[in-house]
């Protein structure tokens, strides 16, 4: 019998929680049985917590109906050849009124009231069950339906069939945990000599002990002569007076269902997700999502944009005919913002509507992603019960159909930081145009004599010299300075652009991997961890129920 240190209501609540957590993971019959106990106990206590329901059960010819009549002092139960013709149980209650709601809940239509003032049997409901070994299947179904509902069972056996396999294998052995809410009565004791009765009682006691029913009392009785009836009646009076039988029955129900449920939850240490497996999954998803392509695109885009900004004006216009690599991939540009889901972060990839033009994952990449998902699933489900293994696998692949879109959206909406670190480009661009202007001025100065000669304009021009090198005229020096300075500045800028491109590509890879890892956590790791946490909570709830 389970410990009574923890209140029964607390244990039932824990069992209900464990059943809910185990739904769809543990075998349905075990979960349903646990949930039924919680529901049944709640209904019973809500209907009537004061009454004690005792059922008299037995085989055909054991004297069950005669015992019922002897205990009630009536002739309500019909015995003999007419008994097997009905599958309906009958109930008798003592007191001022029938517990109609309780009897309706039990599904007992035949009911009688023994009107009495408050007495030792007040609040007792005595039920006469059909014969459990009847040839009518409906009789057996009725017995099977009511056995889990009653608080106490009184099994009537006779000297010829007290070791009957139908009783022991069908009921007593399976009900061994309920030993202290059952009584076995050897009826028809008047047919045995004293030594035969003693031997039969010893034999029956040994048989019950061997079946785990050592706490089940054994009484001898003769319903015909009335011998032993007072003792059985006194036992019932004590049960009614103590008012503990209902609680004992439900406490055992909770214990048995909790044990059955605990067996489906396992007891091994729960797996822990390995960082190496997570990294493997992130690598596979990043590769399949096109992170290397975007990384290369960032490298080329920074080169392209840097050249446009810092190149020599005479040549850089040619770059305008080449498309921006990231525009071609549709990466790194503002996406359509959608309202964030409840509880989602402001930069949750799921809050943006964005699509890239990245190529779909190749078969090799898909195989690597599938292998990484399988490795994660295998590690997370190692040692778990079968149903929970399936739940972990389902959680691993639950978002697989949407995973490609989620990854693509995470990449498309990522801020790759390409707007930062470009301040020096503006400075170089201004210098380039200044140098270009110097070269244009020098070129026009050199062309001016030819223009004047063409138009036959006689205008003396000053012969200015470049002070550092007097042999070179100032116009020529301006052209050399403008063109040479521009080309030199472009060459130096290209070095810094290249360094920046590599740094930006590396930073973009880190940003994209962080975005991929976030999708991995929300779509794969968190659902898997939720299943493991759910199993841990189910185990803890079962232990509280026990």
Task: Give the pLDDT confidence score for residue 467 in this predicted structure.
Answer: 63
Alpha-carbon dihedral of residues 346, 352, 354, 359, nearest 10 degrees?
Answer: 70
**Annotation: CATH topology of 55-242:** Rossmann fold (3.40.50)
**Mean pLDDT over residues 66-78, rounded?**
82
- d(C-alpha 223, C-alpha 215), whole Å: 24
H/E element, 226: none
Token pair, residue 273, equals 């997700």
429 or 127, which is more confident: 127
- Most distant CA pair in the chain, distance: 161
Instruction: Give the span between the Cα atoms of 2 and 68, in whole angstroms.
Output: 31
pLDDT averaged over the chain?
82
Looking at per-residue pLDDT, the higher value among 472 and 216 belongs to 216
Could you tell me if 215 and 179 are in contact, meaning their C-beta atoms sit under 8 angstroms apart?
yes
Instruction: State the pLDDT at residue 544.
Output: 92
What is the share, in percent, of the chain residues with pLDDT greater than 70?
85
Q: What confidence category does residue 491 fall into, taking pLDDT thresholds of 50, 70 and 90?
A: confident
Please give the structure tokens belonging to residue 286: 């990043």
Alpha helices in 56-115 (DSSP H): 64-72, 100-106
State phi, psi for 352 to the nearest 5 degrees: -120, 150
First to last CA, the chain: 10
pTM: 0.75
User: Which class for 296: exposed (0-12), middle (13-18), buried (19 or more C-beta within 10 A)?
Assistant: middle
- Can you tell me which residue has the tokens 């009847």? 134
SS3 40: helix
User: What pLDDT score was predicted for residue 33?
Assistant: 92
Q: Please return the burial class of 3, using the count of CB atoms within 10 Å of its CB with bins 0-12, 13-18 and 19+.
A: exposed
Cβ atoms 64, 56 nearer than 8 A: yes
pLDDT value of position 339: 45
Unique residue bearing structure tokens 């329901």: 53
With tokens 């509507």, the residue in question is 353
DSSP assignment of 441-465 equals HHHHHHHHHHHHHHTT--------E
Reported as a single tens digit per residue, the pLDDT across 119-147 is: 888 889 999 998 887 777 888 888 989 99
Four-residue CA torsion sign, 4, 7, 8, 10: negative
Phi, psi of 58 (to 5 degrees): 175, 180
Angle between helices 8-22 and 245-265 (to 10 degrees): 30
Query: Which of 201, 369, 167, 411 lies closest to 284, judged by CA?
Result: 369
Alpha-carbon dihedral angle through residues 526, 527, 528, 531, given to the nearest 10 degrees: 120
> What confidence score (pLDDT) does residue 543 get?
92
Residue 162: both structure tokens together = 């007290």
How far apart are the C-alpha atoms of 479 and 489, rounded to whole Å?
15
Residue 418 CA to residue 349 CA, distance in Å, equals 19
Give the model confidence (pLDDT) of 293-341 as tens digits.
888 888 888 888 888 888 878 766 666 667 777 777 677 655 444 444 4
Question: Between these two residues, 410 and 172, which has the higher pLDDT value?
Answer: 172
Yes or no: say if 95 and 116 are a contact pair by the CB < 8 Å rule. yes
pLDDT value of residue 62: 85
Residue length of the chain: 546
Mean pLDDT value of segment 242-259 = 90
Q: List Cβ neighbours of 266 (8 Å cut-off, separation of 6 or more).
A: 383, 384, 385, 388
Annotate 203-232 with b (16+ C-beta within 10 A) or e (fewer). Answer: ebbebbeebebeebbbbbbbbeeeebbeeb
On the 0-12 / 13-18 / 19+ scale of CB atoms within 10 A, 31 is: buried
């Amino acid at each position: 019998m389970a410990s009574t240190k923890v209140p029964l209501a607390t244990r039932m609540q824990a069992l209900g929680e464990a059943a809910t957590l185990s739904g769809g993971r543990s075998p349905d019959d075990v979960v349903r049985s646990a949930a039924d106990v919680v529901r049944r106990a709640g209904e019973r206590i809500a209907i009537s917590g004061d009454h004690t329901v005792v059922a008299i059960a037995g085989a055909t010819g054991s004297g069950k109906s005669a015992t019922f009549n002897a205990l009630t002092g009536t002739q309500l139960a019909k015995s003999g050849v007419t008994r097997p013709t009905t599958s309906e149980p009958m109930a008798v209650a003592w007191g001022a009124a029938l517990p109609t709601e309780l009897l309706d809940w039990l599904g007992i239509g035949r009911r009688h009231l023994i009107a009495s003032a408050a007495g030792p049997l007040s609040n007792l409901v005595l039920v006469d069950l059909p014969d459990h070994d009847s040839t009518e299947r409906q009789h057996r179904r009725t017995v099977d339906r009511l056995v889990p509902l009653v608080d106490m069972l009184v099994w009537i056996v006779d000297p010829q069939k007290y070791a009957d396999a139908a009783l022991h294998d069908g009921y007593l052995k399976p009900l061994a945990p309920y030993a202290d809410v059952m009584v076995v009565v050897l009826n028809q004791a008047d047919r045995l000599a004293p030594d035969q009765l003693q031997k039969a009682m010893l034999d029956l006691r040994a048989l019950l002990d061997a079946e785990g029913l050592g706490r089940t009392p054994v009484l001898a009785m003769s319903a015909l002569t009335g011998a032993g009836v007072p003792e059985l009646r006194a036992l019932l009076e004590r049960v009614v007076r103590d008012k503990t039988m209902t609680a004992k029955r439900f406490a055992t129900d909770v214990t048995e269902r909790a044990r059955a449920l605990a067996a489906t939850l396992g007891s091994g240490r729960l797996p822990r997700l390995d960082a190496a497996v997570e990294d493997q999954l992130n690598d596979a998803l990043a590769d399949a999502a096109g992170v290397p392509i975007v990384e290369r695109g960032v490298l080329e885009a920074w080169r392209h944009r840097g050249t446009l900004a810092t190149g020599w004006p005479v040549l850089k216009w040619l770059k305008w005919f080449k498309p921006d690599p990231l525009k071609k991939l549709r990466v790194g540009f503002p996406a359509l913002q959608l309202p964030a889901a409840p509880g989602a972060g402001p930069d949750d990839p799921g809050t943006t509507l964005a699509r890239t033009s990245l190529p779909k994952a190749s078969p090799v990449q898909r195989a690597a992603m599938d292998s990484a998902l399988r490795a994660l699933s295998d590690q997370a489900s190692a040692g778990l019960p079968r149903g929970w293994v399936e739940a972990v696998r389902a959680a691993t692949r639950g978002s697989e159909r949407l995973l490609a879109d989620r990854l693509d959206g995470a990449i498309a909406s990522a801020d790759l930081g390409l707007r930062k670190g470009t301040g020096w480009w503006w400075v170089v661009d201004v210098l380039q145009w200044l140098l270009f202007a110097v070269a244009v001025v020098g070129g026009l100065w050199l062309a001016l004599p030819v223009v004047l000669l063409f138009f036959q304009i006689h205008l003396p021009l000053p012969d200015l010299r470049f002070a550092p090198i007097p042999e070179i005229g100032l116009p020529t020096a301006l052209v050399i300075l403008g063109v040479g300075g521009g080309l030199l500045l472009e060459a130096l800028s290209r070095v810094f652009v290249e360094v920046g491109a590599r740094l930006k590509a590396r930073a973009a890879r880190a940003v994209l991997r962080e975005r991929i890892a976030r999708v991995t956590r929300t779509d794969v790791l968190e659902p898997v961890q939720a299943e493991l946490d759910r199993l841990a909570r189910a185990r803890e709830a079962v232990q509280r129920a026990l």
